[in-house]
Amino acid sequence: MDSIDLINPATGGVLRDVPLNGVVETDAAIERAQRAFESWRKIAPGDRARLLRRFAAVVDEHVEELARLEVRNAGHTISNARWEAGNVRDVLDYYAAAPERLAGRQIPVAGGIDLTFHEPLGVVGIIVPWNFPMPIAGWGFAPALAAGNTVVLKPAELTPLTALRLGELALEAGLPEGVFTVLPGRGDVVGQRFVTHPGVRKVCFTGSTRVGKSIMAGCADQVKRVTLELGGKNANIVFADADLERAAASAPGGVFDNAGQDCCARSRLLVQDTVYDRFLALLEPAVKAFRVEDPQLDTAEMGPLISAAHREKVASYTAEGEVAFTGAAPGSDGWWFPPTVLLAHSARDRHWREEVFGPVISVLPFHEEDEAVQLANDTEYGLSGSIWTRDLGRALRVSRGVDTGNLSVNSHSSVRYWTPFGGMKQSGFGRELGPDAVLGFTDVKNVFISTES
């Protein structure tokens, strides 16, 4: 079995090595999950709910441990990592209510009674990215388990440590063997086997649009369910009537959080031309004040990029763009990159069109509301975005006009576990989180009972 050395992105030092599973180990894990499914689906809804609540409680007992692990493995700031571990707990608690509320319907028909049931699918394969290893895992496995499915989860090669620990905590909480399995490995080995193995009935993938298209094509061969959350190139639209001080102060956090390694990052900043110069003057001190430092510090607002190779990719965009100003970053070992603001000269600029996935904002002025909507929609992506205005009518018009799955007005919020999350266009399809996500892990079965003599 091969292995991979895990690197601390803040120091460049080796943390430990992790074995990478192959096809044989993946098939064995899927087969164990298939066997476990037959008993897991039959557990009484109240008992399954209690096990999920117990899992949430055990995660809560280990929030600080999980957070510290994520800081070392992924370079997340400690404040972010604590939120991420807490989000796993909260999502488990939220979906622990689902087993006892997964109700079908009685539909009026002639000559009998018609009933519907939500039946679990079977084994669900979840493929998790490196940028948010803990919460994205929880968004998949919590509703899948609540619906009565079993789960095999493949963490990203670079950031498997918190997923492995969650797998241990699931067993500690009392989930039966085979119900929730964490399987580190390469995407083109373990992830691909989720796609091709007939025992996996659904694949949830978060990652690049390119890989998502390949997974979708593979799943089509078996008419296999798939949920895709893919790339984003999100607009932050600032109108002249907005609270400019607040919009400028919050803009860095909307894109530099997690060092910009976020599909929801508002990396295209559209500013109405009449306040463009003033807004840039307000934005510069906010960018320069953004604290990029050791992610173990409570004061850190941004940590390093995930790897040296990714840092080179991000740098390729800033090298060819016009830099307006930058923030500061440590000059020590590790994959550090300063927060950077680029001026876009047209909507054809590469840094404006492509997902940089780093701490880089591209700024472009617009004149009228219709132009702002057109520029926001001039992208293959449609995941998230923000609108800043004091005009409620404009907020509603622009929200309906922008083709994206999640929008915030006068904020940069994208994710709440009790509301739906997902993309349009090439940002994917299907919805995670919210009250209906659990239904995506079920089949609707219709049963007619004749009452005629």
Q: How confident is the model at residue 453 (pLDDT cuts 50, 70, 90)?
A: confident
- From the list 204, 219, 263, 264, the catalytic residue is 263
Has residue 280 got a pLDDT over 80? yes
pLDDT value, residue 332? 84
- Average pLDDT on 184-203 reads 98
- Whole-model pTM above 0.95? yes
Name the nearest CA neighbour of 406 among 426, 386, 425: 386
* Spatial contact of 114 and 446, defined as CB atoms under 8 Å apart: yes
Greatest C-alpha distance within the chain: 84
Has residue 384 got a pLDDT over 90? yes
Name the nearest CA neighbour of 386 among 252, 283, 269, 284: 269
- Average pLDDT on 402-417 reads 97
Has residue 1 got a pLDDT over 80? no
As a whole number of angstroms, the distance between CA 90 and CA 204 comes to 20
Which tokens in the block code for residue 121? 């699918």
As a whole number of angstroms, the distance between CA 178 and CA 184 comes to 15
Q: Is 15 buried (19+), middle (13-18) or exposed (0-12) by CB count in 10 A? A: middle
| 219 is annotated as an active-site residue | no
**Which one is predicted more confidently, 331 or 200?**
200
Question: Is the torsion defined by CA of 405, 409, 412, 417 positive or negative?
Answer: negative
| 204 is annotated as an active-site residue | no
Angle, alpha carbons 327-10-294 (nearest 5°): 60
Backbone torsion region of residue 298, taken as left when φ is above 0, otherwise alpha when ψ lies between -120 and 50, otherwise beta? alpha
- From the list 25, 70, 84, 229, the catalytic residue is 229
pLDDT value, residue 121? 98
Strand order of the sheet with strand 322-326?
322-326, 340-343, 360-366, 268-272, 235-238, 385-388, 408-409
